[in-house]
Chain A
């Protein structure tokens, strides 16, 4: 990929990023249209139908994490924490505003906005200490914050009655002091039960488009270039007057807010949600989507998140060997996609094709290789 950019950049500047943008939107829109047609024709079975919304949520999660890992260049291992903040705040918003807002799409949109807002605040608070660190230390601290968020929500009780919201911490739901007709929304470690199913496939699709719009515009803006400058060399970026903490925080908070919105979409697809779902393992799974899709590569992330969410379900027919095969597939894909020989084989394959019609392409590739 790098080679191609080196060779083509001088000829047609900006082509690559523009093409990537078109590819991103293209994949999502085409996939949505194709699946909608299939859905209308009744060609999709219920297990695929059930997976559509989780896939949308995971795509948004992976895209938002790619902003932190791929664009900002900081390894975050606690991203599920923000998803969890979004999921729970979104559910609380949806369940307490249910009476006030009659329209389902509007209610979903409002709760997603609140979810994104809460996750952004959490991202900001976590970001202040965390983003002063670098590399491994940052990864470890984000991991810790992810677990802290999980455990805090485990101890949180929220109820709703005619007087509004009631909060309690580390007690039981009786401590909420709800009036008659009040309802416990978050019941500590038991999470939330009886969530209204507001999420729809279309809502998921729109959320992916919004996420792409925000991330791609941020990346191509002045701020985005500053963020990438920090990723490439923090000291150099600082020396030209870029406020490192501010830009890091900007990317981190945006990423957290998007993760929050995806959390709300996810939670409102299931009747129940518990905070232990958003553990370290979920963070890692999302990181796997990002790494497999390519750091900084948005359309790759969309495809890898989709395939890796589908894969365990497609492997169900293998019964007990399912997770074994899943692990093997993951390892093989990781090894193969990073294998130098394999890459060289493809480069050769394509450069041969190119050299047939454009003789200079081969020389270009070699030049690119030498530059590396």
Chain B
């Protein structure tokens, strides 16, 4: 008897959940259809997923904040194109990203900002391709994101580009003769850059004397990797990774009295503003990054100022990429004449045509004269930076 009652309750609950959501979905689609024409006649719905919670939350939050600033600026201009932005949490997990994407689809998303991190973006890009929603991801750098999909575009360099660019740069500038690499074995970003770096280095005749790895579980102690690099006599340490492990490597190398040159990639950006990190350790570190928060140009300064006011921290490259994404969408929408009453698939066709158009050039925080090719990859030049007196300086 008791079991049947509890069973009936559970079933009722389940059906309630399903039906509740079903009807909710219907309601939102109904409301988005009718008032979209009247009230917010010009608000184009753009949505993105990113890790807003969990270990990778800083990236997702930064991208969300950067995009938010751009959307607010555009809406404040009061022109015909208005944006409505929504970010959903994907916890840096492909499964959750798909859930988040579907939630955005139910909300009525017309243009997608993809996902912030690579693996989740691979999963959502397959869906945006299927559903014909145009997507421009700020920072998902894996090539699998854009591969074989005509409506997927990237704002950041793809991983292979960074690896080859770094090797080229090191070779051109003759920065080191014996190179050691420490990379994160279970991270697409780090591994992707390393693979391309290694093959390009071979081609250019750079001498990699030590290549050691770490994983998510072992990113607190680097003495083994560092002493191996030291033993091999490496004078340049290439660190294709994000800035948190890099900061530990810098401080542990210092305590070992090992002082090679350090060379990082765009993930290293943010190290100077990291809480509890002694910025003097980063003195002399070189990195390739498209964005520099200390840059003196007006655009960057106003963005950094706004970001600091609103979120109380210095924006990193994720925020800048997302900011640029929204502006790129804005200028493309203007050119293509996109209005909010168009459906996602017709917007998608027009946007693809605009983005791949040879005349479409975009100037943003992370590059000027930025163009996109048919594969969806961006072409912009990475800037070599060196940290001097606690600030970036051009190399």
Q: How many residues of B contact A (CB 8 A)?
A: 56
A350 contacts B2, C-beta separation under 8 Å? yes
- Which of B53, B98, B101, B192 is within 8 Å of A190, CB to CB? B192
Q: Interface digits, B129-169 against A, CB 8 Å rule (1 contact, 0 not)?
A: 00000000000001010011000000000000000000000
B106 contacts A46, C-beta separation under 8 Å? yes
B186 contacts A276, C-beta separation under 8 Å? yes
A47 contacts B102, C-beta separation under 8 Å? yes
The complex places the Cα of A134 from the Cα of B7 at a distance, in Å, of: 34
A43 contacts B19, C-beta separation under 8 Å? yes
A48 contacts B18, C-beta separation under 8 Å? yes
- B191 within 8 A of partner (CB): yes
The complex places the Cα of A4 from the Cα of B3 at a distance, in Å, of: 10
- B88 within 8 A of partner (CB): yes
Closest to B187 in A: A189
Most chain-A Cβ atoms within 10 A of its Cβ — which of B147, B191, B198?
B191
The complex places the Cα of A35 from the Cα of B15 at a distance, in Å, of: 9
- A225 within 8 A of partner (CB): no
The complex places the Cα of A136 from the Cα of B10 at a distance, in Å, of: 33
Q: B residues 74-131 with Cβ under 8 Å of A?
A: 88-89, 93-96, 98-103, 105-106, 119, 122-123, 125-126
B24 contacts A45, C-beta separation under 8 Å? yes
- B380 CB to closest chain A CB, in angstroms? 24
Contacts of B215 in A (CB 8 A): 151, 154, 189
Q: Interface digits, A126-155 against B, CB 8 Å rule (1 contact, 0 not)?
A: 000000000000000000000000010011
- B27 CB to closest chain A CB, in angstroms? 10
Contacts of A350 in B (CB 8 A): 1-2, 5
B17 contacts A314, C-beta separation under 8 Å? yes
Contacts of A4 in B (CB 8 A): 2
- Which of B26, B101, B125, B144 is within 8 Å of A43, CB to CB? B26
Closest to A154 in B: B186
- A345 CB to closest chain B CB, in angstroms? 12
- B147 CB to closest chain A CB, in angstroms? 7
- A316 within 8 A of partner (CB): yes
- Among A89-97, A112-120, A302-310, the stretch in contact with B: A302-310
- B22 within 8 A of partner (CB): yes
- B151 CB to closest chain A CB, in angstroms? 15
- A342 CB to closest chain B CB, in angstroms? 13
The complex places the Cα of A170 from the Cα of B213 at a distance, in Å, of: 11
The complex places the Cα of A303 from the Cα of B12 at a distance, in Å, of: 11
Closest to A31 in B: B14
A314 contacts B188, C-beta separation under 8 Å? no
A49 contacts B102, C-beta separation under 8 Å? yes
Contacts of B17 in A (CB 8 A): 307, 310, 314
Closest to A347 in B: B2
- A58 CB to closest chain B CB, in angstroms? 10
- Which of A30, A46, A190, A272 is within 8 Å of B94, CB to CB? A272
- A162 within 8 A of partner (CB): no
- A367 within 8 A of partner (CB): no
Contacts of B53 in A (CB 8 A): 320, 322-323
- B52 within 8 A of partner (CB): yes
B18 contacts A38, C-beta separation under 8 Å? yes
Closest to A190 in B: B188
- A212 within 8 A of partner (CB): no
B102 contacts A50, C-beta separation under 8 Å? yes
- B204 within 8 A of partner (CB): no
A274 contacts B94, C-beta separation under 8 Å? yes
- A355 within 8 A of partner (CB): no
A270 contacts B103, C-beta separation under 8 Å? no
B21 contacts A303, C-beta separation under 8 Å? no
- B335 within 8 A of partner (CB): no
- Which of A45, A266, A272 is within 8 Å of B26, CB to CB? A45
Q: B residues 251-288 with Cβ under 8 Å of A?
A: none
- B290 CB to closest chain A CB, in angstroms? 23
A303 contacts B94, C-beta separation under 8 Å? no
Closest to A275 in B: B186
Given contacts A47-B102, A50-B102, A272-B144, contact A314 B11 (CB under 8 A): no
- Which of A30, A189, A307, A316 is within 8 Å of B88, CB to CB? A316
B2 contacts A346, C-beta separation under 8 Å? yes
A303 contacts B195, C-beta separation under 8 Å? no
Contacts of B93 in A (CB 8 A): 277
B94 contacts A270, C-beta separation under 8 Å? yes
- Which of A50, A173, A266, A277 is within 8 Å of B99, CB to CB? A50
Contacts of B192 in A (CB 8 A): 190
- B302 within 8 A of partner (CB): no
- B212 CB to closest chain A CB, in angstroms? 13
- B23 within 8 A of partner (CB): yes
Given contacts A38-B22, A272-B123, A307-B14, contact A277 B95 (CB under 8 A): yes
- A193 within 8 A of partner (CB): yes
- A190 CB to closest chain B CB, in angstroms? 5
Q: A residues 310-331 with Cβ under 8 Å of B?
A: 310, 312-314, 316, 320, 322-323
Closest to B143 in A: A193
A43 contacts B122, C-beta separation under 8 Å? no
- Which of B11, B21, B89 is within 8 Å of A45, CB to CB? B21
The complex places the Cα of A191 from the Cα of B186 at a distance, in Å, of: 9
B14 contacts A48, C-beta separation under 8 Å? no
- A54 within 8 A of partner (CB): yes
- A366 within 8 A of partner (CB): no
- B297 within 8 A of partner (CB): no
Name A residues whose Cβ lies closer than 8 Å to a Cβ of B.
Answer: 1, 4, 19, 23, 27, 30-31, 34-35, 38, 43-51, 54, 151, 154-155, 172-174, 188-191, 193-194, 197, 266, 270-277, 299, 303, 306-307, 310, 312-314, 316, 320, 322-323, 346, 350, 353-354
Besides A34-B18, A46-B106, A307-B17, 8 other CB < 8 A contacts?
A: A48-B21, A48-B25, A51-B102, A190-B191, A193-B122, A270-B98, A271-B125, A272-B144
Show 27 residue pairs from A and B whose CB-CB distance is below 8 angstroms, ordered by the A residue: A34-B15, A44-B25, A45-B21, A45-B106, A46-B25, A47-B102, A48-B18, A48-B21, A48-B25, A51-B102, A54-B95, A154-B185, A188-B191, A190-B142, A190-B191, A190-B192, A194-B148, A271-B126, A277-B93, A312-B96, A313-B99, A314-B21, A316-B100, A320-B53, A322-B53, A350-B5, A354-B1
Task: In the A-B complex, list the 9 residue pairs whose CB atoms are closest, starting with the nearest.
Answer: A45-B25, A271-B126, A47-B102, A193-B144, A50-B102, A189-B186, A272-B122, A43-B22, A46-B102
Name B residues whose Cβ lies closer than 8 Å to a Cβ of A.
Answer: 1-3, 5, 7, 10-11, 13-15, 17-19, 21-26, 29, 52-53, 88-89, 93-96, 98-103, 105-106, 119, 122-123, 125-126, 142, 144, 147-148, 185-188, 191-192, 195, 198-199, 215-216
